[in-house]
Amino acid sequence: MKRVQIVTDSTAHFTDPDFPRQHALTIVPVTIHFGKESFRDGADITSEQFFAKLKTTNGSLPTAASPTPEQFTAVYEEVTKHTNQVVSIHLSSKLGRVWRNASIGAEPLVGRCNIQVVDSTTTSIGLGILVEAAAQAAEDGATPDEIVKLIRGLIPRLYVVFFVDSLEYLASNKRFNKTQAILGSMLEIKPFLTIEEGNMVAMEKFRTRQQAVEKLIEFVSEFSALEHLAIMQSTPEITEDTRLVLEQLAIDFPGRQFPVCVYGPSLGTFLGPNALGVIVFEGESEED
């Protein structure tokens, strides 16, 4: 039996950048638009290049556009040259059209290829964790049904929280209305956000970054078991805020090392620069 091919999109990020190449993943790029300029996420523009360009761009904010159904069909057509089994895992359906377009793109191949399209209900490193698990299962000989069951069992163990420095990017993506964004900017509000049932929602609002960082630390310290944790920021250099989080993690989880990653262009169109967050993959309890 031919091995299952794992497909994802470029909103997925991996703490090991070589993982996709080493495991022959198929990654379909999201398109990042800066005005009339377009860049394929991960192919034409990196996270660092995105944030550097953000500093020099005047006018409209950047946007992210899903691959079209036709682009997905072309990808699946290429994959069927090597296998007739695909598990395609994508950005939360409530944060973009990627999952929807992948589902439509799979329809022309019905009967020729078993393509199962999965809504991850998350993004970034959270999506990357799910894709890594799927790739490992595929290499171990799991069937598409077994891989989908595995992924759906892992999703409830993923937690994403972050705070943003500016409300204008969330308003641009209709997560806040423009009046709230203007008022929030005047008051220097720092929304503390999470992804809940696939949607980005505000948990609390703070007036200072220090308060938001303290809340981030409090959130992480509530976990007694961590299988994975990654810190997301917009610069490759460790910031003062990130240093405070790492210092607390060293106390709460001695001997553990936690990666610090630059969040990608697609997530950057939602968060803007200077956001800070964590993605937690909770370890299994003894009862499990």
Summarize pLDDT for 98-118 with one digit per residue, the tens.
Answer: 999 999 999 999 999 999 999
* Interval 49-70 mean pLDDT: 90
pLDDT value at 14 more than 90: yes
- pLDDT at site 180: 54
- pLDDT at site 177: 54
pLDDT value at 20 more than 90: yes
pLDDT value at 286 more than 70: no
- Domains defined for the chain, CATH in brackets: 5-156 (3.40.50.10170), 158-282 (3.30.1180.10)
- pLDDT at site 187: 47
Q: How does pLDDT run across 151-196, given as a tens digit for each residue?
A: 999 999 999 999 888 777 776 656 555 545 444 554 467 788 899 9
- pLDDT at site 173: 59
Q: How does pLDDT run across 83-94, given as a tens digit for each residue?
A: 999 999 999 999
State how far the Cα of 164 lies from the Cα of 190, in Å rounded to an integer: 6
- pLDDT at site 174: 60
pLDDT value at 129 more than 80: yes
- pLDDT at site 175: 56
Which of the two residues, 60 and 229, has the higher pLDDT score? 229
The pair of structure tokens assigned to 18 is 């070589």
State how far the Cα of 24 lies from the Cα of 28, in Å rounded to an integer: 13
pLDDT value at 27 more than 50: yes
By the 8 A CB rule, do 8 and 88 touch? yes
pLDDT value at 208 more than 60: yes
- pLDDT at site 188: 63
- pLDDT at site 70: 98
- pLDDT at site 260: 95
CA-based end-to-end distance of the chain: 31
* Interval 70-77 mean pLDDT: 98
